[in-house]
Structure 1
Amino acid sequence: MKVKNQYAFYSPDLSQTLVLDDKTVFQILKVLRLKENQMIQLLDGKGKKGTYKIENIGKDFVSVVQFSIEEQKELSDFVLAFGVLKKDLTEWVIQKSVELGASKIFIFQAENSIAQIKDMDKKKDRFQMILKEALEQSGNFYLPELKIYPSLKTLIEDSKSYPLYMTDPDSPDTFKTCGLKNKALFIVGPEGGLSPKEIKLLEENNAFKIRISQTVLRAETACLSVLSQAVLSIL
């Protein structure tokens, strides 16, 4: 049964009956002004989406009862790794990566990064909030894992099971020709690009070089371009 005008919320618990958390209650009561018997969707971020009916509304609580559960297998295990970006661009890339279906998001301190990774550590809670809100907005079944690394080297050491891909405007290969499977880690540099040392490190770890555009892209644009092209290539 498909119900019109459903709103989606993140909930790691998809029990038969639930009392919703304070943040979701605020959204339902104060922002959306939903009523009893209206339907909502709850996403557990691990592959399940539940359709629930609002059963009871109190002054500061909302209880719901499960109507149905839908499960979806993760189609790919694509990791987007990018050098930390300045200002709000890191947050923007995180948000859009959820919408595009990244399974994991890695942020690393690149040698040419303007921003500092230590400043990102203070924002972990905010990043988690952005992840969840993007999950709700997009209806994605999976909540990506977010990790922050002090260098590209430590990131690679922690990701040995992934084939590595790096963007290179001079590469003859694209996603159509490189034989991309449904598991990969894509490395994108910061505003100043990857350093010669970082490029050499990737080459030593057998990273594939791919061309994603005929023009020069901003770092944040490159992040979304590489991820969207990868997802489309396996559909």
Structure 2
Amino acid sequence: MRIPRIYHPETLPASGIIMLSEEAANHVGRVMRMQVGQEVLLFDGSNAEFPAIISNASKKSVEVDIQERRENSVESPLDIHLGQVISRGEKMEFTIQKSVELGVNTITPLISERCGVKLNADRFDKKLQQWQKIAISACEQCGRNRVPEIRPIMKLEDWCSEPYDGLKLNLHPRASYSINTLPAPVSKVRLLIGPEGGLSAEEISMTETYQFDEILLGPRVLRTETAAMTAITALQVRFGDLG
């Protein structure tokens, strides 16, 4: 049986007894119903993992005894920053979950002209917290020990105008070049994925102003969540650690 991986939001010691965070304790004690003596594998975002044994457990708290600190990086050599125009409901959650599994380092939710999601500031804050939890859960599942950052929501042009020293890509169905034709090597990519209705002509022109290269994935029009997964996978195959 696979040892459960649990994220701890504070820096962990190399050994010793600690109390799990409230959220982690609830997951271990109430959801998984783990008992004293069972093993867990903790990580704190430092790119290491910490084998531990449950030493005390109740409905409200869980205490574990950390055995050691073990360096274990499964991070891709390709640094991908995904700029995703916010999609409706579960589509955005799916995009965040799967992009984390595929090795994306940073995700910035974007607002564009045709973005179909309209939320006030409070709702956006709650969404950010929810999306960050999804990223953490994806790390627990896929074995990553470094948690990708979900940045605050930005307007499309503000994100495009940020200084960046890597390759900047925008998917476009009429582009002349594909990911396979990009020159190697590439170590950093800022990838823009538009909304379900696509970017407007003005927005496409704006991305060109900020030196985004247009690329084509194939002859078929893909949904926004499919486009993100396909592009990330293709980039990881070409420049990262897939394949």
Q: Residues 94-130 of structure 1, C-alpha deviation per residue, up to 9 Å, x if partnerless?
A: 1222111110001111111111264534422222222
Partner of 2:118: 116
Q: For 2:181, what is the secondary structure of its paired residue?
A: coil
Q: Aligned partner of 2:94: which letter?
A: W
Distance (Å, rounded) in 2 between the aligned partners of 1:179 and 1:87:
36
Q: For 1:143, what is the secondary structure of its paired residue?
A: coil
Partner of 1:223: 228
Q: Aligned partner of 1:177: which letter?
A: T
Over the matched positions of the two proteins, sequence identity in percent amounts to: 27
Distance (Å, rounded) in 2 between the aligned partners of 1:179 and 1:67:
46
Compare 170-179 and 219-228 and name the one that shifted more.
170-179
Partner of 1:8: 5
Residues 37, 53 of structure 1: 8 Å contact kept: yes
Distance (Å, rounded) in 2 between the aligned partners of 1:184 and 1:72:
20
Residues 106, 149 of structure 1: 8 Å contact kept: yes
Distance (Å, rounded) in 2 between the aligned partners of 1:172 and 1:14:
49
Computed over aligned residues only, the root mean square deviation of the Cα atoms, in angstroms, reads 2.0
Distance (Å, rounded) in 1 between the aligned partners of 2:94 and 2:216:
23
Residues 84, 117 of structure 1: 8 Å contact kept: no
- Are 1:162 and 2:166 matched, yes or no? yes
What's the offset of the Cα at 1:227?
1.2
- The TM-score, its normalising length taken from structure 2, stands at 0.87
Q: For 1:148, what is the secondary structure of its paired residue?
A: coil
Distance (Å, rounded) in 2 between the aligned partners of 1:232 and 1:52:
35
Distance (Å, rounded) in 2 between the aligned partners of 1:202 and 1:209:
9
Distance (Å, rounded) in 1 between the aligned partners of 2:32 and 2:74:
30
Q: Residues 181-218 of structure 1, C-alpha deviation per residue, up to 9 Å, x if partnerless?
A: 12110001101101111111111222122222321100
Which residue, out of 181, 205, 210, partners 1:205?
210
Compare 100-109 and 42-51 and name the one that shifted more.
42-51
Distance (Å, rounded) in 2 between the aligned partners of 1:133 and 1:158:
29
Which residue, out of 86, 91, 95, partners 2:93?
91
Residues 108, 117 of structure 1: 8 Å contact kept: no
Q: For 2:36, what is the secondary structure of its paired residue?
A: coil
Aligned residue pairs, count:
232
- The TM-score, its normalising length taken from structure 1, stands at 0.89
Compare 138-147 and 59-68 and name the one that shifted more.
59-68
Partner of 1:62: 62
Distance (Å, rounded) in 1 between the aligned partners of 2:125 and 2:28:
31
Residues 99, 135 of structure 1: 8 Å contact kept: yes
What's the offset of the Cα at 1:91?
1.9
Q: For 2:197, what is the secondary structure of its paired residue?
A: coil
What's the offset of the Cα at 1:14?
1.9
Query: CA 1:117 to 1:188, structure 2 compared with 1: closer, same or farther past 3 Å?
Result: farther
What's the offset of the Cα at 1:167?
0.8
Distance (Å, rounded) in 1 between the aligned partners of 2:59 and 2:112:
49
Residues 166, 186 of structure 1: 8 Å contact kept: yes
